[in-house]
A and B are shown apart, each in its own frame.
Chain A
Amino acid sequence: MSITPFKKRVCYYYDSDIGNYYYGQGHPMKPHRIRMTHNLLLNYGLYRKMEIYRPHKATAEEMTKFHSDEYIRFLRSIRPDNMNDYNKQMQRFNVGEDCPVFDGLYEFCQLSAGGSVAAAVKLNKQSADICINWGGGLHHAKKSEASGFCYVNDIVLGILELLKYHQRVLYIDIDVHHGDGVEEAFYTTDRVMTVSFHKYGEYFPGTGDLRDIGAGKGKYYAVNIPLRDGMDDDSYESIFVPIITKVMETFQPSAVVLQCGADSLTGDRLGCFNLTVKGHGKCVEFVKRYGLPFLMVGGGGYTIRNVSRCWTYETAVALGAEIANELPYNDYFEYFGPDFKLHISPSNMTNTNATEYLEKIKNRLFENLRMLPHAPGVQVQAIPEDGVRNESEDEDNVNPDDRNPQSITDKRIAPDNEFSDSEDEGMAPGVGGGGRKDNRSYKTVTPARKQARLDSNRMEVDEPEFNILKDEKEDKSVSSDDSNKKDTVKS
């Protein structure tokens, strides 16, 4: 099983101003976490492995591809110093409480949206395999309404861009909250399937019922996985992997968008799941292995040190690079104390998601997915974008095993073989074949060891106690290895 060496081309979108926007005192949403992530991955040496883009500021015209003109006009004009003149509109557009008016609000939206749109354009051009915009992922924003700290829905804008050249786009949401904004935007179309894993029941935003499956042409194209408190890595994987596998099988998208909301991590200020960075990152890894054009965006995440840990790790996963558990020194190093490690441990909170419960949900969703018109293989080739897509690229890069990447459920997280030139390669546990330089030293020792044993059986030694008790143990070993070896072999 060998794949031709192929490195994923990863593009990363970041504006150095994004960390300077401030929602307000005590507000849990902190754009600073994006800068922390950036600084961490810079110091991990991941930055230099990607194409780095400074996104443009999305124009009002771009944003009204989804949002209503009035809403965007309102966002553009509202400022902390004039908000008293806008009381009525603020109420109408749900701006004020969760979604406060802060200095630079509109620019913040422009940068966040600009990144996701530019990333989608890049993927359309096929000049990148994976695009990352941690400043995006604001999945609650509605067409004419702010919600849950989100004003402009960069994800919807990105997906709309992808839809220009992709017949079907899959959206996956692993934020602890339901991805209601994206689901609503595409509720009635069969060209976007939205799949959201979220805490459900007395929880923001209140949508995401198992029975919400889309409407009109979009019926069965919204998939909701309602979960309870305390989801841990194993439970999450046990539901994520089969559902996404089935969705890929039946929906056969040609591009994927993954919202990597980090509020599903353990210890989040607002979340109630118990995922570790590794468990969260496994979702990224799993989706990545399908080898489809892949847009990764941020989202929630309110314990900012863990958010930056998570997104840094997931950037590494996208690159197929191994990074050390010890954090490199960085501008915000002290935030990561007291352990200064990349990975985090789950808490001892109870997982209230019983296996049977997850099983029932899964079966129910499988039933729904069975209702989809089965997308035949022909259709994939028949869609217009194939006229411009580089087909040979697809053929070469997608290993049959990758299409059906259950192997990720195996214990080892194998780095994709295509990264065989990576210097970190030797870290893959128990993978045969990889030539690991450092093994050699052990290898050369091993035969000698076996030899010694064999010899010890055969040889007769007259006075063991004299020999050993008299001298201190190691003195004799001064004589050179080789000559001794020869001697013993002869005898």
Chain B
Amino acid sequence: MANDNLEDLKNGKRPAPSANAEMSEVDDLIQENAEKIRVGRDFQAVIPKLMVLPKNRRERLNKKALLVWSPTDNISEHKLNEYILLSKERYGYNSEQALGMLYWHHHDMEKALSDLSNFAPLPDDWSPDDKLTFESAFNSIGKNFLRIKQMMPDKPIASLVKYYYLWKNKRKKTSVIDRQAKKLANVRTNENQNGSREGSSSAESEPDEKKDPGEGSSKLICSVCGVLVTTLCTTSKGPMCGTCQSHFNRTNGGIRPTLGPPRPNNRHLNVARNKRLPPRGMYVNHDDLQSIATESNGQGDNILMAMDDEVVSLKCKIQSNKQDIGHVHKKLKLDVSEYRNSEPTTSRITSRWSNQEVMLAIQGMQRYGKNFEAISEALGTKNVSHLKTFYVHYRKRYKLDTILKKYDAEHNSIIELSDDEDEQVIRKDNSSSTITRQSTPSTLASGTRLISNISLNSKTHQTTAAAK
């Protein structure tokens, strides 16, 4: 269907002719020539008589639909997840099939587990050839599944449609990765061109590479193609993987071209080398590469499929972590309001400064910088203008500017350093509140800051004791 056809649909196939843009009165809304509901035997449904549900009806009704899963309270969420994961990883079930098996055994986990192997779902019946055929057919024909089917007669249209929606998805995925890789390559090329010498780009990528081999202990990196290998061969041009070394020997000292057209000189070698590096944090195992290249088709597919699975499970993890974070965030925002100090602060505010207050104010500045709102809240007995006056009057005496300077220097650096998770959250929010502070201090009443307040107070509290 063409686009203007779509427009037709959008505006209504059967426009009411007398539609009027100017309709101030409700009555004007009523369009005299509009479509009408038709009345007659040909249009209305025959309404059934009201009945009383007979007792024996139950059995007959049950045949209407097949129950494939029913919830149970006897299995914990955690156990259920474990079961699903196991059936997925070991036998290739999806979670729906796994639950189906469990229900089949009346929620008996033991029985279901032992039966899993007997009904392992058939692996994807789409061979790599099928996929290729589909792709080329799709590219030449488009979304006409009837015609694609003529090219792939053994596939029912349903199967084509199903594959299409998954493939469409995947295709996008690949292109995103390609784009990212391109972007990285561009960044690196630019870095190189910006005057630094040969070494700079390899130095750039080194931190990435260093981390990983530490775990795999024996994994080493080829200096030509950059893959991870278990053994390196030393040559006059540096350590190389087996493939590069054999090329080196065969060509009497030639560097194996790893990408695209041969490069004019060594200087550009590094640039090109970086281009074919996988994205940050991703490593190509040379042995895998080799088996993909040399073994039979199936072998390579298996490796790729395993990697795909890994990607998927990592993505699952990422999303579920994000959900957890969101959950915690929400909780934080909702819950903290209950613990805000509800006592009217105005009644206790005095303009006289006790030594204790002075100390708290100074500590407050250490923690919040010039966020007088926050300090005032922590103090409880001084308002913002009191604190401002305090700052103006005592900045010399208490070296307040030194404190502020320290504060500014700290709040940027601490975030990454802290190991403790809770600590980290607080600090981060601190820093973000600082940013807001500079623009609109009055809007800053966020709950997270309050938590810092609380901990500040308990600490002050300890300090006072210590001071005593």
Contacts and interface: CB of A to CB of B under 8 A. Distances in A.
Interface of A: 13, 17, 19-22, 24-28, 32, 35, 42-43, 45, 47-56, 65-66, 68, 80, 98, 103-104, 114-115, 117-118, 121-122, 124-125, 142-144, 156, 160, 163-167, 180, 183-189, 191-192, 200-207, 209-212, 215-216, 222, 226, 269-270, 272, 324-329, 331-335, 340, 357, 360-361, 364, 383-385, 387-388, 423, 426-427, 429-430, 436, 438-439, 442-443, 445-446, 448-453, 455-462, 464-465, 467-469, 473-474, 476-477, 479, 481, 484-485, 487-488, 491
A430 B43 contact: no
A25 B16 contact: no
Contact of B360 (A114, A450, A456): A456
B166 A331 contact: yes
A427 B330 contact: yes
B323 interface: yes
Interface in B238-281: none
A477 B331 CA distance: 28
Given A52-B68, A115-B65, A385-B50, 5 more contacts: A19-B162, A210-B29, A329-B318, A456-B360, A462-B467
A26 B11 contact: no
B47 A189 contact: yes
A385 B338 contact: no
A210 B30 contact: yes
A327 B319 contact: yes
B292 interface: no
B6 to A, nearest CB: 7
B127 interface: no
B461 interface: yes
B159 interface: yes
B47 to A, nearest CB: 5
A107 to B, nearest CB: 9
B465 to A, nearest CB: 4
Contacts of B323: 324, 326, 328
B169 A13 contact: no
A383 B354 CA distance: 78
B45 A186 contact: yes
B335 A442 contact: yes
B42 A143 contact: yes
Given A42-B96, A201-B31, A453-B380, A438 B335 contact: yes
Given A21-B161, A144-B42, A429 B68 contact: no
B157 A206 contact: no
B148 to A, nearest CB: 11
B461 A485 contact: yes
B468 interface: yes
Interface in B34-50: 34-39, 42-50
Given A51-B67, A51-B71, A328-B320, A488 B50 contact: no
A191 B47 contact: yes
B1 A47 contact: no
11 contacts: A22-B161, A26-B6, A51-B71, A329-B319, A360-B26, A449-B453, A459-B356, A468-B463, A469-B398, A473-B363, A479-B466
Chain A CB within 10 Å — which of B44, B57, B320 has the most?
Answer: B44
Nearest to B9: A270
Interface string B310-341: 00100110111011011100110011111101
Interface stretch (B138-146, B191-199, B432-440): B138-146
B9 A484 contact: no
B233 interface: no
B462 interface: yes
Interface in B290-322: 312, 315-316, 318-320, 322
Nearest to A439: B335
Nearest to B16: A206
Contact of A456 (B42, B357, B399): B357
A60 to B, nearest CB: 16
B404 interface: no
Contacts of A487: 465, 468
Nearest to B343: A450
A484 B335 contact: no
A325 B64 CA distance: 35
Contacts of A164: 48-51
A20 B159 contact: yes
Contacts of A118: 64-65
Contact of B34 (A207, A438, A476): A207
A52 B64 contact: no
B371 interface: no
Contacts of A436: 331, 335
B463 to A, nearest CB: 5
A489 B93 CA distance: 62
B16 A452 contact: no
B370 to A, nearest CB: 16
Interface string B380-422: 1100000000000000011100000000000000000000000
Contact of A204 (B9, B50, B159): B9
Contact of B165 (A24, A160, A332): A332
Nearest to A81: B146
Nearest to B327: A324
Contacts of A216: 39
Given A164-B51, A328-B319, A329-B316, A32 B6 contact: no
Contacts of B431: none
Contact of B96 (A47, A183, A187): A47
B157 A103 contact: yes
B458 interface: yes
B464 A459 contact: yes
B90 interface: no
A13 B65 contact: yes
Interface string B52-66: 110001100101111
A27 B6 CA distance: 8
B237 interface: no
A13 B66 CA distance: 9
A270 B453 CA distance: 51
Contacts of B176: 334
B362 interface: yes
Given A206-B35, A324-B326, A469-B398, A121 B466 contact: no
A456 B35 contact: no
A211 B34 CA distance: 11
A331 B467 CA distance: 61
A448 B465 contact: no
B36 A160 contact: no
B464 A206 contact: no
A204 B12 CA distance: 4
Nearest to B356: A456
A68 B46 CA distance: 11
B30 A460 contact: no
Nearest to B321: A326
A388 B53 contact: yes
B181 interface: no
Interface in B164-209: 165-166, 169, 172-173, 176
B12 A476 contact: no
Contacts of A327: 319
The 3 tightest CB contacts between A and B, nearest first, are: A206-B35, A20-B158, A452-B461
Nearest to A25: B143
B121 interface: no
Given A20-B158, A207-B34, A331-B166, A473 B366 contact: yes
Given A385-B50, A427-B330, A476 B462 contact: yes
B443 interface: no
B324 to A, nearest CB: 8
A212 B354 CA distance: 77
